[in-house]
């Protein structure tokens, strides 16, 4: 008897974003994403190293229907990018996570600072000390809250994960530099699933590692390369309610999807179309409209991922993929088995 399991497939939904160097309805080198309980999306913009752009480094809050809700945070000038940087400013922002109360925690890997913003976008707290001791951090690159509102922080240059209370008090840590199980090389993104298990994008080891809530190694998958299940610098990881794992395979410009056990399912390379904000912008300028009409290979080229860097999923089976080099996110929907009944 042959059993065919319905394959997991994905349908492209839509694209959100456009390039907005300073602020407004768009992004500038978006690097991280999260959602709040009302399913509003928070995108953290890494922005530019070019001092002229202001505020450029910011958090943009918007709906899945591409309505801008608000933005908060701003950049600090490189010359002032030290411990004295004003509250609410960023130099090299990397990660964002929301606590149960809806406060946004933003990590900055240059300032080695976690900034906390309330729902109005006011910076209400900050913490973080450079170092390699317990509770000290060196280039934080990933943030995730567990069910108890404890913050798991990827401490990238110390090649470990540290767990803090949301006030920044050290609780525990795991990991060290290396290539063995439970060891890391400049880890980046982090995700905690419904069981409290922890997934880390072990960036320079080109693999994903999974741990239990106490940091005990559970499994790993992936190796360097371009084939199925291989990675070239994985940056972000997300797990949906069915345990399916999504990984942004940054330098391979693709998203890979895996079963809960790490078995490869499929690869997405991008389906982007013109977003609502993008259409609004293009329509302002007749030369852009004409240019797009005449452009050769536009549809094929524009759909591809460029620098997919972060991924998030919601309980409705939607997958949000952030592309740092294209100032947008692409949204996909996971398809369930198709019964195909009904009238003809």
Partner 1 sequence: MTSNKKDPVLVVLQMTGAYDALNTFIPYSDPHYPDYRPTLQVGPDEVLAVDDKVGFHPGMGPIKEMYDQGKVAVLQGIGYPSPIRSHFRSLDIWHTAEPEKMITEGWLGKAIRDIDPNKENILTAVNFGRGLPRALAAPGVSVASVGDLSNYGVLTGIQGDDQRTEALDIFARMYAPMIGSGPVSDYLSQTGLDALKGADILSTAPEMYSSSVEYGGSPFAQWLKSIAQVHLAGFGTRVLYTGVNPGTFDTHANQNITLPKLWGDVTSAIGDFYEDLKEHNANEEVVMLLFTEFGRRVQENGSGTDHGSGGVAFVIGDAVKGGLYGEYPSLEPEKLDSGDLQWNNDFRSSYATLLEQWMGLDANPILGATYEQFDFIK
Partner 2 sequence: MGDKDIALMAHLMRRAGFGAQYEELEARAGKGYEETVEELLHPENNSNRMDLDLGERYFIEWNHFIRCVPEYTAFRMINSYSQLQEKMMLFWHGILCTADSKTQSYVTSHAELEMLRLKGMGSFKDLLVEISKDPAMLYFLDNCLSHKGAINENYGRELLELFSMGVGMDGNFNYTEDDVKECARAFTGWTISNGIPGQPYGRYPASFAYNPDDHDDEEKTFLGHTGNFNGEDVIDIICQQPATARFISRHFYDYFVADEAQVPSWMDTPPRDPETIKMLEDEYFRSNYDIRSMLRVLFNSDAFKNARFARIKGPIETVIGTLRLVGDWTTPKPGFEAIFEEMKHMGQEILNPPSVEGWHTGKEWIDGGTLVRRINFIADHVGDVSFPGIQDIVQKLASEGPTISPQGLVDGCLKLLGHYELTDENHQSLVEHARKSGVSSTDAQEFPKHVSEMLQMIVATKEYLYA
Joined tokens for residue 206: 């080109």
Q: Which range in 21-29, 106-114, 147-155, 241-249 contacts partner 1 by CB under 8 A?
A: 21-29
Q: Does residue 281 touch partner 1 according to CB under 8 A?
A: yes
Q: Angle formed by the axes of helices 286-294 and 276-283, to 10°?
A: 110
Sheet with 68-72: list strands edge to edge.
Answer: 30-35, 41-45, 58-62, 68-72
For residues 289 and 279, is the Cβ–Cβ distance under 8 A?
no
Q: Does residue 230 touch partner 1 according to CB under 8 A?
A: no
When binding is defined by CB under 8 A, the residue of 133, 286, 341, 342 that contacts partner 1 is 286
Q: Does residue 158 touch partner 1 according to CB under 8 A?
A: no
CB nearer partner 2, residue 176 or residue 301: 301
Q: Which range in 16-24, 136-144, 177-185, 206-214 contacts partner 1 by CB under 8 A?
A: 16-24
Residue 328 binds which of partner 1, partner 2, none (CB < 5-8 A, kind-dependent):
partner 2
Return the ∠ at Cα 9 (arms to 8 and 14), rounded to 5°: 140
Q: Which range in 37-45, 225-233, 281-289, 294-302 contacts partner 1 by CB under 8 A?
A: 281-289
Residue 72 binds which of partner 1, partner 2, none (CB < 5-8 A, kind-dependent):
none
Q: Does residue 275 touch partner 1 according to CB under 8 A?
A: no
Residue 286 binds which of partner 2, partner 1, none (CB < 5-8 A, kind-dependent):
partner 1
Radius of gyration of the chain (CA): 20
* Helices vs. strands in the chain: H and E counts, helices first: 3, 30
CB nearer partner 1, residue 15 or residue 60: 60
For residues 326 and 49, is the Cβ–Cβ distance under 8 A?
no
CB nearer partner 1, residue 16 or residue 238: 16
Q: Does residue 49 touch partner 1 according to CB under 8 A?
A: no
CB nearer partner 1, residue 88 or residue 142: 88
CA distance 303 to 330: 9
Joined tokens for residue 246: 């999504």
Q: Does residue 24 touch partner 1 according to CB under 8 A?
A: yes
For residues 289 and 282, is the Cβ–Cβ distance under 8 A?
yes
* CA distances to 291, 292, 299, 325 from 296, in Å: 10, 8, 8, 20
Residue 110 binds which of partner 2, partner 1, none (CB < 5-8 A, kind-dependent):
partner 2
Closest CA to 47 of 76, 17, 80: 76
When binding is defined by CB under 8 A, the residue of 285, 299, 301, 337 that contacts partner 1 is 285
CA distance 200 to 233: 12
Residues binding partner 1 (CB under 8 A): 20-25, 52-53, 280-281, 284-287
């Amino acid at each position: 008897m042959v059993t065919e399991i319905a394959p997991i497939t994905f349908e492209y939904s839509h694209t959100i974003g456009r390039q907005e160097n300073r602020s407004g309805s768009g992004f500038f080198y978006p690097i991280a994403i999260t959602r709040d309980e009302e399913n509003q999306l928070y995108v953290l913009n890494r922005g530019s190293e070019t001092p002229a752009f202001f505020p450029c480094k910011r958090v943009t809050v918007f709906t899945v229907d591409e309505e801008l809700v608000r933005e908060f945070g701003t950049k600090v000038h490189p010359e002032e990018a030290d411990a004295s940087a004003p509250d609410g400013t960023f130099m090299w922002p990397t990660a964002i996570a929301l606590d149960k109360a809806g406060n946004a925690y933003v990590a900055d890997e240059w300032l080695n600072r976690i900034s906390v913003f309330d729902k109005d976008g006011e910076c209400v707290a900050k913490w973080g000390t450079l170092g390699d001791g317990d509770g000290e951090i060196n280039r934080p690159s990933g943030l995730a809250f567990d069910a108890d509102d404890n913050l798991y922080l990827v401490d990238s240059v110390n090649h470990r994960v540290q767990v803090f209370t949301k006030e920044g008090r050290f609780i525990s840590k795991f990991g060290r530099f290396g290539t063995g199980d439970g060891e890391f090389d400049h880890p980046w993104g982090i995700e905690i699933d419904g069981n409290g298990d922890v997934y880390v994008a072990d960036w320079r080891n080109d693999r994903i590692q999974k741990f239990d809530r106490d940091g005990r190694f559970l499994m790993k998958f992936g190796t360097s390369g371009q084939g199925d299940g291989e990675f070239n610098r994985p940056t972000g990881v997300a797990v949906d309610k069915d345990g399916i794992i999504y990984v942004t395979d940054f330098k391979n410009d693709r998203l890979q999807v895996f079963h809960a056990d790490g078995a490869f399912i499929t690869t997405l390379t991008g389906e982007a179309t013109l977003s609502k904000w993008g259409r609004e912008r293009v329509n302002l300028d007749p030369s852009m409209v004409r240019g797009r009409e005449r452009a050769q290979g536009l549809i094929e080229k524009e759909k591809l991922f460029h620098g997919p860097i972060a991924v998030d999923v919601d309980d409705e089976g939607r997958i949000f993929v952030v592309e740092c080099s294209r100032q947008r996110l692409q949204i996909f929907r996971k398809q369930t088995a198709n019964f195909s009944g009904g009238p003809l």
